[in-house]
Amino acid sequence: MADFITGMRISSSGMAAQRMRLNTISSNIANINTTQTPEGGPYRRKDVVFEAMPDAKNFGEIFSSGDPRGQMDRVQVTDVVSDKRAPLMKYEPNHPDANPDGFVAYPNINLMEEMTNMIQASRAYEANVSAMQASKDMALSALEIGR
């Protein structure tokens, strides 16, 4: 039964990470035309950083697992980083945020790239849902055998 729970914990960590990624992508799309932020300048595209973490509750579980390479990992969001690319400069002299030369700095966000990332994150979320459902079905089948 513990292995079913471990599988579900790993799948749920993947779902949480992909949810965070989807929220970040949604923020990028929503701010595609934001030329001024509270920090100053145009919105900067954000991206999440994932890291594989050992799926253990405490040091004792890690220590007793023996070979750390054979241990199952869960995914965790470790950081949200801002894109370092330069903003897109568009000539719009009548825009309120135009510089003295008439150029406005827009976020360097490619809508097609964001939509592709959103589809990829949605598919990864769905895969984790399917894995969790399979774990649940196997646990229920194991319980049925015991009757």
* Per-residue pLDDT of the chain in tens (147 residues, 90 and over written 9): 557 777 888 889 999 999 999 999 999 999 999 999 998 899 999 999 999 887 665 555 555 655 555 566 788 899 999 999 999 999 999 999 999 999 999 999 999 999 999 999 999 999 999 999 988 888 888 888 877
For residue 100, being part of any structural domain is answered with no
27 falls within a domain: yes
- pTM reported for the whole predicted model: 0.80
Number of domains in the chain: 1
Q: Does 139 fall in a domain?
A: yes
- Give the ranges where the chain is alpha helix by DSSP (H): 2-30, 59-64, 111-145
Residue 74 to residue 127: CA distance in whole angstroms: 15
| Residue 97: inside a domain | no
> Does residue 104 lie within any of the structural domains?
no
**How much is the pLDDT for 99?**
94
101 part of a folded domain: no
* Size (the chain), residues: 147
Residue at 72 is within a domain: yes
DSSP label at 86?
P
Which residue range(s) make up the domain with 14? 2-32+46-82+109-145
